[in-house]
Structure 1
Amino acid sequence: MTSPEKSCDSASTQPPADTPSELQAAKERADWDRVSQIYDQCLTAASDSEPYLPDILPGFLAEVLARVSANYFGAEDQFVRDAENVLASRSARDVTPSKLSFNELYADTNFIRLPAYKDAPGVRRRPTPFEATVETARRLRDLNSVESVLKDVTEGAILGGSASYGRFFNVKGAISGKASDLDLLIVIDDFAHLADMCKQFEKVRSADAYAVERLVHRAQSFVHNGVHLQGFPIFSGKVTFWSSVADPVMKGSSVDSKYDVSIHVASRPVMDHILLRDMPRISVEPAGKIRMTSDFRETQPSRLDHQRNFGGGDLRLAIETEPLGESFLRRSHTYFIDDRDRYYPGMFQNLILPQFDVRWGSTSLRRGVDSFRWKMVERLRYEQRVRPHDLLRLSLSHTRSQVFAPHTIRSVDNSTHMS
């Protein structure tokens, strides 16, 4: 099998998506047959006179795309080009009169006329299959760059957000509204090194220089004003990517390539606090019903603290917020156990759930995340014993579970089954 070409930061000419030799080359790099056939099924269902596209079809397409993408680690730009050729070749069947361009695939009218893919007030639209493919691949590629500059100055990082639970299914671009963030929970040994760590983003070519400068300034303020000593704090900030330089993957596209990388930085003691390292099991005794974490944020929060339990039940709690210079310090629940003994993981535990995806890290961090995972599984099993007739799942305890990729739900919930 021919190895995929390595991607690079410099702009390159996009090959046309309808070149037979390009399609053949893609199939020599990876097995695209199942992707091609499942996409064809999706097109057939979506293009019917009375369209009905069951979630299982785009969900399975996302799963097989994830499998193929593993063959392109470090060559995500090539993966996008190959995906374009494969999907465009399927669109040339009797569904459309001619093969679709990059822009047409990205905003494919076969899909955006369906309810799940339409923009509507208060509803998160689902990206088209090619849009989700492009945007997932871009974030995974950029994550490689972030890892390369941070891995030697951090203890590790956990990948959260849609790139973890909605890969190739719910990661969306800026075709309408805001693009999906790339969410990282980063661990450092001591907050004294926070500003130096943030400054490393200057080495990532796609990172906006002003955003990095602001991040460093806020990190210095966080330590100088002693915020790092108050109530197990997390330092949160955003770095905009691809706002000042062109992303070669999007060359020739009419879609804005800009998106935000949301970072949440914890010192090792704070991370141990979130991972419940001091607790042998998750229970009211002796740990108590509530554990809190502080969040040093760029913007003032406008919503209540939102959490869910293993049954999918919502809990929205009022939170204290105080302005600190140009930032805001918000009190957030690490977890909450209600009067019915139901467990609600908080915002930062939700960054670890549902995949517990340590992108890079020390053995100590990986073992800590493993320990937390099994504490969550045992807590779930406890509640299942107490409520044997309830449907309780680990996946349901996440505040964004409604947009999980179907294969993520299956994988996460199957991983909790124990004899």
Structure 2
Amino acid sequence: MNLTEVDDRADWRQVRGLYQQMSLLLSNSTGPDELPDIMAGALALRLGRVFAAYTGREEKFGEDLLTIMSDVDDITGEAPDAFRHLYADERFNTLTPYQQGNEKRRRPKPFEAAVETCRRIRDLNSIRRTTAAARVSTAGILGGSTTYGRFYNVKGAPSVDSIASDIDLMLIVPDVKEISALCEALVNVYALDADSVSLFMNRAEVLQSLRDEAPGGNVLFSQKIPIWRNAPDAFLEGTGIWPQYDVSIHIATIDLFSRIILEDAPRIEDDERVEIFDYRATPPIPRYAARGFNGIDSWLESESSPVDRGHMWRVQEFDTKEERFKPGLHQGLVMPQFEIRWDDEPLSLRVPIANFKWKILERLRDERARRPWEVQHLSLCHPRFSIFAPHVTREVDSFSIES
């Protein structure tokens, strides 16, 4: 690839300059952990800025980044070889965050994180185009590491026995009748595992009867669907890198989603309780962590029972025991970025999501007033705050400073 052509597509100067600094530090290192942790975060921020110039051309971004990094590191030869070299960049292996078995989570190498971010945004766009072509009205809320760890903590699967980062996607539909149409549309997403999509469609047929039995009909519809399990990803062709990861899909009607984001509550009060049911394909965990603004966990117990083609899970959406608000699992999908990828008519989530954010920030203000000696931040109430990209933590916590 011609460097002039790459520079004609976007301004890569900041990425090139910082990566060159990182590369020199790694090459001149005389011991472990001599690369300042701030470097990976700064690179993720700058990659995200350049990525904005490649909307709808995610693979081209990856190809251009390969050209830039190969030039900085003076890597020659065929593109798949350079790709594999940078993806597995062994210079990072002495650094604690990048080591397999790290008690927190292995941080991906910079090129790996960039490639895997590109692939997930590309695939997310494919799902969006497919549902739009089928004329199914949806809104897409993106959660997980593709929001809070974009270009920083999105892991691939270098081999078949390793675990890659999911896409966590909440899909909102106007009515339960739209869910079957949405499941049928997913058949046309080429890379999604066909058997899993077939199960998803079959389970959608059971959903209405489960809604009839559940109090208020508050049933979320969830399933993990592997992608690139039985289909080759041309972007990784010749690299030997295992392409599969999972798309965790959570489907809610707009009425149920409004309940999750507390739309009818003027404020978040102590001792409030909101429960929903989650119709899952696999058995859920018996309890899960909920975390307050002080970063301290408590455990929420849950109940589940087997039902036709899955499990019905009773989920507490948030906790306010001991006068501390702790978001639940599905609120955690919306937080901390509140990232609406799309919303079709008649769905319009911009104002309701903003309203949810301000309610949380007002609750944070109240809890800071109760305990002014504590450090309390919006980022700390997310179970994965320790692996946020540094610029995401700054951005999320700036909301509460400005409020």
Indicate conservation of the 8 Å contact 1:227/1:233, yes or no. Answer: no
- Pair 347,225 (structure 1): closer, same or farther in 2 beyond 3 Å: closer
Partner of 2:113: 132
Q: Deviations over 1:229-263 (max 9, x none)?
A: 44522110122211222111101111111111111
1:215 aligns with 2:195: no
Give the 5 Å matches for 1:51-200.
Answer: 51=32, 52-92=34-74, 101-120=82-101, 122-151=103-132, 152-175=135-158, 177-200=162-185
Give the Cα–Cα distance (whole angstroms) in 2 for the partners of residues 75 and 282 of structure 1.
Answer: 41
Partner of 1:387: 371
Paired amino acid for 1:208: D
Determine if the alignment matches structure 1 residue 245 to structure 2 residue 231: yes
Return the alpha-carbon distance in structure 2 between the equivalents of residues 402 and 123 of structure 1.
Answer: 8
CA distance in 2, matches of 1:217, 1:90: 51
SS in 2 for 1:212: helix
From 244, 250, 270, the equivalent of 1:258 is 244
**CA deviation after TM superposition for structure 1 residue 315, in Å:** 1.1
Q: Over residues 309-365 of structure 1, what are the superposed CA-to-partner deviations in whole Å (9 max), with x where a residue is unaligned?
A: 1111111122111111231111122110012x1100000000000000011115632
Aligned residue pairs total 393
**Letter of the aligned partner of 2:244 in structure 1?**
K
TM-score (norm 2): 0.93
| Counterpart contact for 1:322–1:328, Cα < 8 Å | yes
- Distance in 2 (CA, whole Å) between partners of 1:75 and 1:276 is 37
- The alignment partner of 2:31 has SS state of coil
Q: In the alignment, is the contact (CA less than 8 A) between 1:344 and 1:397 conserved in 2?
A: yes
Q: Percent identity?
A: 38
* CA distance in structure 2 between the aligned counterparts of 1:225 and 1:336, rounded to whole angstroms: 25
Structure 2 counterpart of 1:37, from 3, 6, 17? 17
Q: Specify whether residues 165 and 98 from structure 1 end up closer, same or farther in structure 2 by C-alpha distance, changes over 3 A only.
A: same
Please say if 1:205 is aligned against 2:194.
Answer: no
Q: 1:193 offset after TM fit, Å? A: 2.2
Aligned to 1:12: none
**Shift, 1:296, TM fit:** 1.1
Give the secondary-structure state (helix, strand or coil) at the position aligned to 1:290.
Answer: coil
- Between the aligned partners of 1:65 and 1:139, the Cα distance in structure 2 is 15
CA RMSD across the alignment: 2.0
| Cα 1:223/1:168, change in 2 over 3 Å | same
Q: Which position in structure 2 is the counterpart of 1:411?
A: 395
Contact 1:135 1:173 in 2 (8 A): yes
Please, what TM-score do these two structures have when normalized by structure 1? Answer: 0.89
Q: What are the within-5 Å matches in structure 2 for residues 224-243 of structure 1?
A: 224-226=209-211, 229-230=214-215, 232-243=218-229
SS at match of 1:388: coil
**SS where residue 101 of structure 1 aligns?**
helix
Shift of 1:283: 1.0
1:310 pairs with 2:296 = no
Number of the residue aligned with 1:10: none
Equivalent position SS for 1:265: strand
Partners of 1:299 and 1:24 lie apart in 2 by 50
Partner-residue secondary structure (3-state), 1:416? helix
- Which amino acid in structure 2 is aligned with residue 132 of structure 1? A
Change (3 A) 1:97 1:251: closer
2:38 and 2:90 map into 1 onto residues whose CA distance is 20
How far did 1:77 drift?
0.8
Change in 2 beyond 3 A, CA 1:228/1:358: farther
Counterpart of 1:30 in structure 2: which amino acid? A
CA distance in 1, matches of 2:78, 2:223: 44
Cα distance in 1, alignment partners of residues 144 and 105 from structure 2: 14
Structure 2: runs of 5 or more not aligned:
none
